[in-house]
Amino acid sequence: MTLDPARAAVEEAFAHDRAGRETEAIPCYERALELGLPDPLRQQALLGLGSSLRNVRRHDDAVKVLAGAVGEYPDHGGLRFFLALARWSAGEEREAMREMGALALDEADLRGYRRSAELYLSELD
């Protein structure tokens, strides 16, 4: 069985990423996304592309890709986490902390401290 072109491109991107060749992975991710991928493979490709862009110091591009992905998939914790990392790398420390804090609020058991945590995060605005 042969893979469709989009799946073949994303598998090639994953292989480059695993080998530490992010520069080679980026055009493969872009090609796969352009050809169209089903969920959740699309989500994985967006995360991989954003992470690879960040790793090759294309921080603004990483933020753009990951922010768009979070817009599409707001409940995807991995995308939100990598968006925070990309924002930090791009010099957007407040935005990164806000995103990481929001992610923690969604996941953490804050017991009686949730309102306090929300207030502290709102001070980042």
Asked whether the CA dihedral 7, 43, 85, 107 is positive or negative, the reply is negative
- The answer to whether 52 touches 26, Cβ cutoff 8 Å, is yes
Tokens 């490709």 belong to residue: 45
Residue 21's contacts (CB-CB under 8 Å, 6 or more residues apart) are none
Note down pLDDT in tens along the chain; length 125 residues. Answer: 567 999 999 999 999 999 999 999 999 999 999 999 999 999 999 999 999 999 999 999 999 999 999 999 999 999 999 999 999 999 999 999 999 998 888 877 777 888 888 888 888 76
- The answer to whether 78 touches 69, Cβ cutoff 8 Å, is no
The whole-number pLDDT of residue 2 equals 63
Q: Tell me the domains of the chain and their CATH numbers.
A: 5-122 (1.25.40.10)
Q: Could you tell me the two tokens for 64?
A: 């753009």
Amino acid identity of 87?
R
The whole-number pLDDT of residue 21 equals 97
The whole-number pLDDT of residue 66 equals 98
What whole-number distance in Å separates Cα of residue 111 and Cα of residue 55? 36
